[in-house]
Amino acid sequence: MAPVEKAYDVRQCLPVRWLLTFNLLFLGLGNLFWIPLSEKIGKRPVLIACSGLFFVSTIWAAVAQSYGSLLGARIVQGFAASVSEGIGPVIVADMYFLHERGLWIGINLLLFTIGTSLGSIFSGLIATADSGPQWVWWHQVILTGVLFVIVILFQAETNFNRPLEDESGKPI
């Protein structure tokens, strides 16, 4: 008869789960800060600040030497990345008229979903590569650095007061 294996202790995985749990917690809470700030000072400065903060915190995660440091980096990453969840639909609402928004919100959601799906596939490939666990973070540093430069170069300010128009397009 085979020996009975020892029961799995859930507490051993608790610290690893916190890396994702706190990241997702701050991913949800960050919008309570970023969205009102973007309405006050503008969406472009907030997007640049968040992209820069996400890039810096990703470098922090890549060079972290302790669990506490990595957890802190993941919390800051979640807080900085939270702007992408809520500000996209707000930018669409700023840029397009009401009758055009459905199409562009749909495209925004489609690209967001495709990005999430492809991210899972590529993260699996990176995690199983022979380059070591730190390269998971360094790949993310490369990607966030490129995206930070793209945001700086191409993100336009969308906070503006559009004049009211009737259905025919004439100013009211």
| pLDDT tens digits, one per residue of 4-47 | 555 545 455 567 788 889 999 999 999 999 999 998 998 999 99
Condensed to tens digits (0 to 9), the pLDDT of residues 90-107 reads 888 888 888 899 999 999
Residue 140 CA to residue 158 CA, distance in Å, equals: 28
Domains and CATH numbers, the chain: 18-153 (1.20.1250.20)
Mean per-residue pLDDT for 43-67?
93
Q: Which residue has the tokens 């990453």?
A: 77
Taking the C-alpha atoms of 154, 160, 166 and 172 in order, what is their torsion angle to the nearest 10 degrees?
-150
Q: What percent of the chain is modeled with pLDDT above 70?
A: 84
pLDDT at position 3, please?
55
Q: What letter does residue 160 receive in the DSSP assignment?
A: -
Token digits for 84? 């992408």
Among positive and negative, which fits the CA dihedral 172, 88, 27, 71?
A: negative
| pLDDT over threshold 90, residue 118 | no
Mean per-residue pLDDT for 54-61?
95
| pLDDT over threshold 50, residue 161 | yes
pLDDT at position 20, please?
87
Contact criterion met (CB below 8 Å) for 108 and 99 = no
pLDDT at position 12, please?
57
The CA–CA distances, whole Å, from 9 to 12, 14, 22, 132, 151 equal: 6, 10, 21, 26, 44
Work out the pLDDT band at 72, boundaries 50, 70, 90. Answer: very high
